[in-house]
Structure 1
Amino acid sequence: MLRNAPKFYEVAKRIVEITDECILVAHNAQFDYRILCTEFRRLGFEYERRSLCTVELSKDLIPGQTSYSLGKLVRSLGIPVTDRHRASGDALATVKLFKMLLDKDTTKTIIKESVRLNPKHQLEPRHLDIIAELPSITGVYYIHNANGDIIYIGKSNNIKKRINQHFTGTNQKSKKIQVQVHAVTYEATGSELVALLKESEEIKRVKPIFNRALRRSIFTHALYSFKDENDYINLKIDVADGRKKPITTFSNRQSGKSFITNAVDDYNLCQKLTGLYKTKTSCFNYDIKACEGACIQKESSDLYNKRVKALIDKNSYANKNMVIIDRGRDVDERSAIFIENGIFKGLGFFNLNYQINNIEVLESIITPMQNNRDTQHIIQSYIRRNKRIKVITLD
């Protein structure tokens, strides 16, 4: 394979060009970097680049592995590899491993250090230059100041367009961001659900100065249930109350009312028992023969409650073990949102179904995240809006 390969001096200039202002990422980077420096020194050129070692990062971000050799590590994480011990195969495996490490670096230490130390950001950047380097993809973006600190976190289905809006905005917050922005980094998610969850989690953790420090809950109303004196399950849209356990939540009252209106049709429920029709007698739908008569105890509570429970089960993941499958960052990749016993555990990306069918591998690729009322709202409302989303129930 090497007999007809080019000599190092023939490719040296190209190596300098493609690594200019870049960070070298390698598995056992010290070895690779030493080889490069040695070869350049023979040519009389002092080659200097910063480097990141995926062995060291893996030991920090994925502790407890039996081996940190590239082959054994990617195998234990379920990362698909072809052409092992060949340049392209090992490089692609390292790329996939590094992507996973970036996901698990929840404090964004790697990115912040990169922005702070990268020479190309030491000059005052023009907004047009920043926008030109951004893609029109779904993901989370991070606006940094000159020290590399994150001053704003956002989510968008078109990152380039959204940053352009920040740079052309005339409100007070936009103007302050325009003055302080030094760089914009981003994380592709492919999935809007993943972007929403990451944005919510990281704003709470990082508390950027231009995001609201104490961000209010992103929902105001919730769906609650109770049994009346006749043993029928009633549903009610009400102002969200932290002391009560909701079935699902809504951004506003109108959204909740629209949900209940559709549920009445989809599950053949009673308008009176869902709070849509206030009356002491039968509901309007019963009068036009579109209700089975639960409002006047004509239909048995057992039959009626069975349909209400089907609605509740569909829109709540309490006590469930499941994985929500959505788009990934590449064509052959998917995202996985892991829920265990009704608790959101975290999310990750995978290429092979084996990775999510094997619970140990699934847990290793998942980046742990906080379970709170906002994450529950994000997940439930996303499933409501996206009827065709794939959900796998785990044993």
Structure 2
Amino acid sequence: MYAILDIETTGGKYNEEGITEIAIYKHDGHQITDQFISLVNPERDIQPFVVNLTGINNNMLRNAPKFYEVAKRIVEITDDCILVAHNAQFDYRILKTEFSRLGFDFERKSLCTVELSKNLIPDQPSYSLGKLVRSLGIPVTDRHRASGDALATVKLFKMLLDKDSSKSIIKESIRLNPKHQLEPKHIDIIKELPAVTGVYYIHKANGDIIYIGKSNNIKKRINQHFTNTNPKSKKIQAQVSTVTYEATGSELVALLKENEEIKRVKPILNRALRRSSFTHALYSFEDENNYINLKLDIADGRKKPITTFNNKKSGKSFIVRAIEEYKLCQKLTGIYKTKSSCFNYDVKTCEGACIQEEPAESYNKRVELFLSKNSYANKNMVIIDRGRDIDERSAILIENGVFKGLGFVNLNYQITNIEVLESIITPMNNNRDTQHIIQSYLRKNKKVKQIIFDK
């Protein structure tokens, strides 16, 4: 658990500042679970420049609670939490100073979103909260007020968790807050999980990830792991201490994240070298009569496919649909073996490319249209899909036919600047598996929005 906070102070000499406002959002890594927001009477004057900056003045604080009156609530809401703040060293120092005045030793682990941002989102022109969130398209209201700044930090921290591909933030959290039980209670783990689409991570007690999976219903899938009797499930049941997850909203994002992270983390209970999930591929070539031919064949890593398939049957079905939609020739697509005309020509639904009756130029235009629709080779595009919340969308970035990575954008934030989009995106590797995942998903989900752009 995290306590994401922001504090406004009176200003003044070092360690003589007083708190004027505090906002704390308790966060489980996915959503806010509790919050505390209050003005605080600092029992001292506020510096004029602070009044101009925050709008908080002495009159506003006259009837506000003093720090000792809110101290118990602060202790409770931050208990067993890691403090998260933008410039955490400042906020943590102020809290410790206020508690020490009461004779209480306030100790918490802390994380600084400035330092995390410098590591996970490098090369930003500024890491001040206002400029950073603006450059990342994160909406912020009530700037320089505790609640507004703390909420902006919540959204920034959520983005940083997405970008933390090594999962170091989560693993450190598990190590700092171990489960105090000798054997994991599976029912308690399942109770804490949501029935949402995403990627899940099964951890040992020391935080190490032993298994990564993807599901459209994480709660149901983990329940299956805990009740199945196959060898892998038994190993999971014996070693699991904690299950963390990343909601993705989009199944495409979940598939890409699972593929990327299994390859990088290589969890001991996943297959160490995961085989490609496709067996067949569609290739094109030009014959001696200058007609573009299509051929479904066993996938060959040395060749560049148009698209790939999990099995031969799905590839054949895809070609049959393409023949109907684009009026392609059965012979030139490899579906109908013949030395003369194809069956469709005999029933007047093929225009005769099989016997050179239709000019190659005319036929090839339809083939090229088909190829363009079903391959993102050389394209610059963004695939827009579901997000984790109702006001969010996922964005999958492809540049010059190469998958670059993915991220999440606010529904009200327009993707018009590719440089801003690139700073939001979590970089990922482009490989045969990612190409297969993206192309297969787009084939099955034809209504998914695609934005083509020039670069």
- Matched with 2:86 is 27
Displacement of 1:299 in angstroms is 1.3
- Write the letter of the residue equivalent to 1:306: K
Deviation at 1:123, TM superposition (A): 5.0
Partner of 2:269: 210
- Residue of structure 1 in register with 2:56 after alignment: none
Which residue of 84, 91, 110 corresponds with 1:51? 110
Residue 135 of structure 2 corresponds to residue 76 of structure 1: yes
What is the deviation of 1:122? 5.8
Counterpart secondary structure, 1:184:
strand
Aligned-pair CA distance for 1:119: 3.6
Q: Which of 115, 119, 126 lines up with 2:174 in the alignment?
A: 115
Of 145, 157, 181, which residue of structure 2 is paired with 1:98?
157
Give the structure 1 partner of residue 196 of structure 2: 137
Superposed, 1:363-374 pairs within 5 Å as 363-374=422-433
1:26·1:54 contact (CA, 8 Å) conserved in 2?
yes
* Amino acid in structure 2 at the alignment position of 1:10: E
Separation in 1, partners of 2:64, 2:234: 54
Task: Identify unmatched segments of 5+ residues in structure 1.
Answer: none
AA aligned to 2:264 is R
Residues 179 and 205, structure 2, Cα contact 8 Å, conserved in 1:
no
2: CA distance, partners of 1:175 / 1:57: 37
Is 1:330 paired with 2:389? Answer: yes
2:293 to 226, 231, 234: 234
* Aligned: 1:2 with 2:61: yes
2:224 to 154, 165, 182: 165
How far apart in 1 are the matches of 2:285 and 2:337?
17
SS at match of 1:391: strand
User: What is the distance in 2 between the residues matched to 1:301 and 1:321?
Assistant: 29
What is aligned with 1:279?
338
Deviation at 1:165, TM superposition (A): 0.7
User: What is the match of residue 339 of structure 1?
Assistant: 398
3-state DSSP class of the match of 1:137?
Answer: coil
Letter in 2 for 1:69: S
Matching residue's letter, 2:358: E
* Structure 2 length-normalised TM: 0.84
Q: How large is the Cα RMSD of the aligned pairs?
A: 1.5
In structure 2, distance between residues paired with 1:280 and 1:2 = 91
Matched residue SS, 2:361: helix
Q: Whole-Å Cα distance in 1 between the matches of residues 416 and 93 of structure 2?
A: 41
Deviates more, 1:370-379 or 1:282-291: 282-291
404, 416, 419: which is aligned to 1:357? 416
Q: Give CA-to-partner distance per residue, 1:52-73, whole Å, 9 cap, x none.
A: 1101111221222222111111
For residues 104-154 of structure 1, what are the alpha-carbon distances to aligned partners after superposition, in whole Å with 9 as ceiling and x for unaligned?
Answer: 211111111111221445653301111111111111111001111000001
- Greater radius of gyration (CA): 2
Q: Summarize the Cα distance change of 1:356–1:194 in structure 2 as closer, same or farther, 3 Å threshold.
A: same
Whether 1:380 aligns to 2:439 is: yes
Alpha-carbon distance in structure 2 between the residues aligned to 1:276 and 1:18 = 66
- Report the 3-state secondary structure (helix = DSSP H, G, I; strand = E; otherwise coil) of the residue aligned with 1:186: strand
Query: CA offset at residue 259 of structure 1?
Result: 0.5
Structure 2 Cα separation of the partners of residues 366 and 107 of structure 1: 15
Q: Does the 8 A contact of 1:79 with 1:93 survive in 2?
A: yes
Q: 1:305 aligns with which of 364, 382, 390?
A: 364
Q: Determine if contact 1:21/1:119 at 8 Å carries over to the other structure.
A: no
CA distance in 2, matches of 1:307, 1:5: 73
* Conserved 8 A contact 2:86-2:129: yes
Does the CA contact (< 8 Å) of 2:306 and 2:374 recur in 1? yes
- 2-structure distance, mates of 1:97, 1:368: 17
Q: Quick one: distance in 2 between partners of 1:134 and 1:118?
A: 18
1:175 aligns with 2:230: no
Amino acid at match of 2:139: P
Q: Structure 1 residue 85 and structure 2 residue 159: aligned?
A: no
More helix by share: 1
Residues 342-394 of structure 1: per-residue CA shift (max 9 Å, x gap)? 11111111115655211211111111110100001111111111010000011
For residues 289 and 412 of structure 2, the distance between their equivalents in structure 1, rounded to whole angstroms, comes to 48
Structure 1 residue 41, shift from structure 2 partner:
3.2
Question: What displacement does 1:35 show?
Answer: 2.3
1:8-66 deviation digits (Å, cap 9, x = unpaired)? 33333332332222211111112222222233333443322211110111122122222
For 2:170, give the aligned amino acid.
I
Amino acid at match of 1:267: Y
The CA deviation at 1:338 is: 0.6
259, 266, 285: which one pairs with 1:200?
Answer: 259
What displacement does 1:189 show? 1.1
Unaligned runs of 5+ in 2: 1-59
Q: Which amino acid aligns with 1:26?
A: A
Separation in structure 2 between the aligned mates of residue 372 and residue 59 of structure 1, nearest angstrom: 28
User: In the alignment, which residue of structure 2 is the partner of 1:146?
Assistant: 205
Runs of 4+ displaced beyond 4 Å: 352-355
Q: Alignment partner of 2:61: what SS?
A: coil
Q: Identify the match of residue 222 of structure 1 among 257, 260, 281.
A: 281
Is this contact kept in 1: 2:279–2:309, CA < 8 A?
Answer: yes
- Percentage of matched positions with identical amino acids: 83
Q: What residue number does 2:124 align with?
A: 65
Preserved CA contact (<8 Å) 1:142 1:153: yes
